[in-house]
């Protein structure tokens, strides 16, 4: 089953195309992760603060339109820029719904770069659980440089 990201961008359908900017500056939006392809970095239920039109570098977490189903948004890690677009992979080696299956993603299908992960508060509300959540709920998503070299397309 393909991973799905619920994009809640400024244009409803996941936001504007990559490279688009609003007159006042960058455009931001939210997305929700539904599948486990980015475990352990992202879990189902996590929310992402997206930056539409941001420059993408190897190691960044990005939201792209699936090349075969462009109504489907997926979240992956940008591994390498190739002549035909970005090679993207999930952090979870058990899920293959990435460039190993569909090849490089053209630049025009790169929707946004994820800047921050927001982890929802679980059902358990004990003081220890709330403290644990508070320490890990909001994390910036930085490029995983070492991961990108490990996952480099061959």
38-87 confidence digits (pLDDT tens): 999 999 999 999 999 999 999 999 999 999 999 999 999 999 999 989 99
Most distant CA pair in the chain, distance: 51
Whether the pLDDT of residue 90 is over 80: the answer is yes
Give the global pTM.
0.74
126 compared with 9, residue with greater pLDDT: 126
Nearest to 60 by CA among 108, 15, 114: 114
Q: Determine the length of the chain.
A: 154
Residue whose token pair is 């790169």: 110
Beta bridge partners of 22: 25
Rounded to the nearest integer, the mean pLDDT of the chain is 81
Whether the pLDDT of residue 22 is over 60: the answer is no
**Beta-sheet strands, E only, within the chain:** 5-8, 27-33, 47-52, 61-65, 73-82, 85-89, 110-118, 138-140
Give the C-alpha separation, 58 to 122, whole Å.
32
Residue 134: the pLDDT is: 81
Residue 89: the pLDDT is: 97
Give the C-alpha separation, 128 to 116, whole Å.
24
Asked if 82 contacts 43 with a C-beta cutoff of 8 angstroms, the reply is no
Give the C-alpha separation, 79 to 57, whole Å.
8
Give the C-alpha separation, 5 to 117, whole Å.
13
Question: What six digits make up the tokens of 47?
Answer: 């929310």
């Amino acid at each position: 089953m393909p991973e799905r990201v619920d994009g809640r961008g400024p244009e409803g359908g996941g936001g504007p195309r990559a490279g688009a900017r609003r007159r006042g500056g960058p455009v931001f939006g939210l997305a929700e992760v539904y599948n486990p392809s980015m475990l352990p970095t992202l879990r189902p239920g996590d929310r992402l603060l997206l930056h539409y039109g941001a420059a993408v570098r190897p190691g960044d977490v990005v939201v792209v339109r699936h090349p075969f189903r462009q109504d489907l948004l997926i979240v992956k890690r940008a591994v390498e820029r190739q002549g035909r677009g970005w090679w993207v992979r999930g952090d979870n080696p058990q899920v293959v719904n990435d460039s190993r299956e569909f090849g490089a993603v053209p630049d025009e299908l790169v929707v946004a770069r994820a800047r921050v992960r927001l982890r929802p508060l679980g059902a358990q509300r004990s003081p220890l659980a709330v403290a644990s959540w508070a320490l890990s709920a909001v994390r910036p998503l930085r490029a995983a440089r070492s991961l990108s070299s490990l996952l480099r397309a061959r």
